[in-house]
Amino acid sequence: MDVKVFQFNGCNKCFNESLLLKLDSEYNVEFISEPKKWKEEKIETAVITGYVLPTDKELLSKIRSKANKVIAYGSCTVSGGVFALANQHGHEITPLKGLIDDIIEIEGCLGEVDELKSVINGEELMKPKKLCDLCIRRATCEYLDKVHRQIELENEETCFNDLGFLCNGFVSRECKERCIDYNTPCRGCKQLVERPGIRMLGMFGTLMGNIEVATEHSVKGATDKLGDEDDDVTRSLPDILGNFFRFTFTTSGLPKGRIPSSGTLLEDLFTGRLIEELPLITGLLGGDKSISLTLKIIESYEKANQIEVSEQTMKYREDLIKLEEKLYEAIEKEDAKQYKEITEKIRQIAGNMNLSNVFFGGFKSKINEEDNFEEYKTQIFEVVEGTYKNGSVEYSIDSEGIIKEIKIREG
């Protein structure tokens, strides 16, 4: 079966993952990392990865007319993914279905290769299971007194949302990456319902019932009205767009943002996000340098704020860097077997390909059964205003922990 995988813009994590198709001899896979050089021949199955822009429309229409089947693989193609957060600054990342018709969508960051295989074979996808059904944590459904941006890792029984720690699992379906297994709340890359972000906003807003909301006297109505000033509710969630609409901004029905752009698309995507979210966003962005970029950001912050890092943590981080180099080689050689082995090793340490387990000061869950977890357990860290620099990355945060400016050179 002929399959052609096209990589458009942005992260190439899903493009790399489709290398696993080669392990199955029934597919004759060709990888096209520069779609502009494609020779426009007939295609049986076209797989599109990476985010798409309106400027890609012409090329995409050509692919559509030449291919029997077009598959949008990964959240970036389906809905703009994490890159679409740059639309807050006026960029125009579009879901693939907004540019061409008749496509099959496979969501997920990272998209699941098993789903891709069954779609290529023309099978129906399994009915989705709710993530909450599979989660070991249980809901208490009590109003929150406080929203937490970081939590202690002690409690492993209560639902993240009920601990005051936003988790999008409520509106998401089962996935393979399973961030929730690594003490990381779900980011919601596979949606269970339509407009998950908006629904989650309603649910979490209700849960915040005990937190004080500002009211003011309305002169004309002579009664109280909802106040305009900042209050505990708005201060609890400094980045609503990034927290609730991480993967679904373009499909949520919200208007496009009109905050002035401050640089490249990649820099715009980071501006406005929160410091504790940074490792996850860099992890999601994937690409060949995601591990080193994530560690660079973490290490610069640790160094400047004297966060102690144990030897064991350093050892695991070094292992990750080495694995990243090997992964790069495997991708260069298009060696699917080696790619599978290395990603499995990365998953052992970092939890998943989104690096859920990697955090400031250590790791979020036990890596090896024999390890003493206390040695490299991450702790709650203080948000310190300032500018942090490490090699090719430089970012500054304000007193709330919001990224004000970021510069990423190359990669």
Helices 336-350 and 311-332: crossing angle in degrees, nearest 10, is 160
User: In the complex with another protein, which residue's Cβ is closer, 237 or 331?
Assistant: 237
| Joined tokens for residue 411 | 């990669």
User: Three-state SS for 64?
Assistant: helix
Helices 278-285 and 290-304: crossing angle in degrees, nearest 10, is 160
Rounded Cα gap, residues 223 and 221, in angstroms: 5
The residues that touch another protein, with contacts defined as CB under 8 A, are: 88, 195, 198-199, 201-202, 204-206, 208-209, 211, 213-215, 218-226, 228, 231, 233-234, 237, 239-241, 244, 252-259, 272
Are the C-beta atoms of residues 379 and 247 closer than 8 Å to each other? Answer: no
Minimum CB separation from another protein for residue 275, in Å? 17
User: In the complex with another protein, which residue's Cβ is closer, 180 or 208?
Assistant: 208
Rounded Cα gap, residues 103 and 79, in angstroms: 13
Classify residue 65 as exposed, middle or buried by CB count within 10 Å of its CB (0-12, 13-18, 19+).
exposed
Minimum CB separation from another protein for residue 298, in Å? 25
Minimum CB separation from another protein for residue 385, in Å? 20
User: In the complex with another protein, which residue's Cβ is closer, 259 or 321?
Assistant: 259
Minimum CB separation from another protein for residue 143, in Å? 9
> Parallel, antiparallel, or unpaired for β 67-73 and 43-49?
parallel
User: In the complex with another protein, which residue's Cβ is closer, 23 or 226?
Assistant: 226
User: In the complex with another protein, which residue's Cβ is closer, 237 or 393?
Assistant: 237
User: In the complex with another protein, which residue's Cβ is closer, 185 or 197?
Assistant: 197
Nearest to 192 by CA among 256, 108, 119: 108
Minimum CB separation from another protein for residue 228, in Å? 7
